[in-house]
Structure 1
Amino acid sequence: MEGGSSMEKKKITRPKEIDFIDLVLKWSIKDIFDETLYQFQVEKIPESFESVDHYLSSFFFPLLEETRAYIAVSLKDIVKAPFAELISFEEVLEPNGSLVFDVEVNYWRNHCCDGRVPYRTSPGDIVVISNVKLEDASDLQRSGYWTFAYVTDVNENNALVNFKVRVPPGSGNVKGMRGSSHVVFLVNVMSNKRVWNMLRVRENLNMIEKVLCPVQEAFGNEFGVK
Structure 2
Amino acid sequence: MEKTAGKKKEVPGRRLVDLVLSWSIKDVRNEDLYKNQVRQIPLKFSTTTEYMNSFTYPLIEETHADLLSSISTLHLAPSCEILSFKQTKDFKPPKDIFYLVTLKSVSGLQKNGGYEPMIGDIIALTNVRPKFKDLDRPNRPFLVAFVQRVKDDNILTILASKPILAEERENKKRETLYAICLINMTTNIRIWRALNSQLEGKNLDIIGKVLQPNSAVRNHSLL
- Tell me how far 1:90 sits from its aligned partner: 0.6
Aligned counterpart for 2:129 among listed residues 126, 133, 148: 133
* Equivalent in the alignment of 2:205: 210
Cα distance in 2 between the residues matched to 1:45 and 1:18: 25
- Tell me how far 1:163 sits from its aligned partner: 1.1
Q: How many pairs align?
A: 193
* Equivalent in the alignment of 1:167: 160
Cα distance in 2 between the residues matched to 1:26 and 1:209: 33
* Equivalent in the alignment of 1:70: 66
**TM value normalised by structure 2:** 0.76
Q: Which runs of 4+ in 1 moved over 3 A?
A: 107-111, 175-179, 206-209, 212-223
Cα distance in 2 between the residues matched to 1:69 and 1:216: 30
Query: How do 1:79-118 residues align onto structure 2 when only pairs under 5 Å count?
Result: 79-94=75-90, 98-106=96-104, 107-108=108-109
Cα distance in 2 between the residues matched to 1:65 and 1:165: 24
Structure 1 gap segments, 5+ residues each? 1-16, 112-117
- Tell me how far 1:131 sits from its aligned partner: 2.5
Q: Taking every aligned residue pair, what percent have the same amino acid on both sides?
A: 28
Contact 1:83/1:184, CA 8 A, preserved across alignment:
yes
**TM value normalised by structure 1:** 0.75
Secondary structure of 1:39's aligned partner: coil
CA distance 1:29–1:213, shift in 2 (3 Å):
closer
Letter in 1 for 2:63: T
Cα distance in 2 between the residues matched to 1:22 and 1:48: 31
Aligned counterpart for 1:33 among listed residues 29, 36, 39: 29
Q: Which structure has the larger Rg? A: 2
CA distance 1:175–1:209, shift in 2 (3 Å):
same
Contact 2:146/2:160, CA 8 A, preserved across alignment:
yes
Give the aligned CA root-mean-square deviation in angstroms. Answer: 2.8
- Tell me how far 1:188 sits from its aligned partner: 0.6
Cα distance in 2 between the residues matched to 1:216 and 1:162: 46
* Equivalent in the alignment of 1:115: none
- Deviation digits for residues 81-103 of structure 1 (CA, Å, limit 9, x no counterpart): 11122210111011876111111
Structure 2 gap segments, 5+ residues each? 1-12, 168-173, 219-223
Secondary structure of 1:202's aligned partner: coil
